[in-house]
Structure 1
Amino acid sequence: MVNLLLFPILREVFMSDVAVPPRSPLARLAAVVRLANGYVLTVLAFALVICVVWQVVSRYISPRPSTVTDELARFMFMWIGLLGAAQASAYKQHLAIDLLAMKLQGGAKRALNVVIECCIIAFATLVMIKGGWELTVKTFANNQVTPALQWPMGYVYMVVPVAGALMVFFAVVEIVNTLSGREGGAA
């Protein structure tokens, strides 16, 4: 039962880039980055499930439930959320109001797509990369550590600039695809 359900889903997630071989070196690099990010997200999701299950089980079988798994699950959830947002950006699956885009055709539609991707680049660069990097550096400089695990908080916040860099990369790939006439989120 799990075999029938799980593996087709994983095959769709990981093999969608393999079905149509990318044409350009940039497209091949984008496919590798999407695949690697997908693997990281999968490992984090499985680890999150294991942490949460152990947290619930330890609550009932132990007089002192695990506090480490609670904190670890929260941090993994942050990483999954932000890396998942970058993955959604790669496949153009973010929430969008496409009323205008559906009405446009040809050059106007391509121009709108480039403007949208430039807005994504501006946001990801200024807020996520620059702001996230400053936050990460400050937490490392202040020697902030997590309460239960005693890990530097900078490692937790490091996902913000990493996800921002991925979003910028995928937006640049989309702009190149749009300007070269190859449209489609993941191609």
Structure 2
Amino acid sequence: MNKLITIMNKVLSLFCISLSSVLVVCVSWQVFSRYVLNAPSTFTDEVARFLFIWVGLMGAAYTLGQKRHLAIDLLAMKIEHDEVKHNKLKLLINMISMSFASIIMVYGGGRLMLKTLATGQVSPALGIEMGLVYAAIPLAGLFMVIYLVQDILENIAFMTSKNTNSSTLSNQ
């Protein structure tokens, strides 16, 4: 599992860096063509919008895997001194996140992508299938699910080790 996570980290980070670089070039060209050449580029607006969607979703999956996502940790800070309760809270949060990522993003996003592909909807300027743009949702959800499975397994391993340690101490 750790090997898979290491590969995912490298692929996602390189992918996000690449998408961000292309996004910067597109937006720069768009500004240059609009204000210097007085001939706005029609396709770069759409490319930038789609790249922003992909960067946002893939970046969210990557930051979840790095445990650097935005969080409101008021409750976690209150029980920080109790490792077992803190771990149980992390497990609960991971389970809720897993439900969201799997049901809303993978299942719901996958259905949206497939329906859009089936209708043949294409983008106006680029002419690419919108289902390919929407594929970012289930793909990011899949990456999130994999990261969350690893976190949940770590939570369970921690709780198992604490139970083993406490039962060993009580037997002595």
Q: Same fold (TM over 0.5)?
A: yes
The two structures have a TM-score, normalised by structure 2, of 0.86
Quick one: which of 75, 88, 110 aligns to 1:111?
88
Quick one: which of 161, 178, 185 aligns to 2:138?
161
> Which residue does 2:18 correspond to in 1?
43
For 1:93, the aligned partner's letter is R
The answer to whether the aligner puts 1:70 opposite 2:65 as a matched pair is no
Q: Which runs of 5+ in 2 are unaligned?
A: 160-172
Instruction: Calculate percent identity across the aligned residue pairs.
Output: 42
Find the residue that maps to 2:85 and give its secondary structure: helix
> Which residue does 1:13 correspond to in 2?
none
The answer to whether the aligner puts 1:85 opposite 2:37 as a matched pair is no
* Alpha-carbon distance, 1:35 to partner: 1.4
Higher helix share: 2
Q: Which runs of 5+ in 1 are unaligned?
A: 1-25, 183-187
> Which residue does 2:69 correspond to in 1?
94
* Alpha-carbon distance, 1:96 to partner: 1.6
Runs of 4+ deviating beyond 4 Å: none
* Alpha-carbon distance, 1:63 to partner: 4.7
Quick one: which of 116, 123, 130 aligns to 1:146?
123
Q: How many residues align?
A: 157
The answer to whether the aligner puts 1:170 opposite 2:171 as a matched pair is no
For 1:50, the aligned partner's letter is V
> Which residue does 2:158 correspond to in 1?
181
Rg larger in structure: 2
Root-mean-square deviation (Å): 1.5
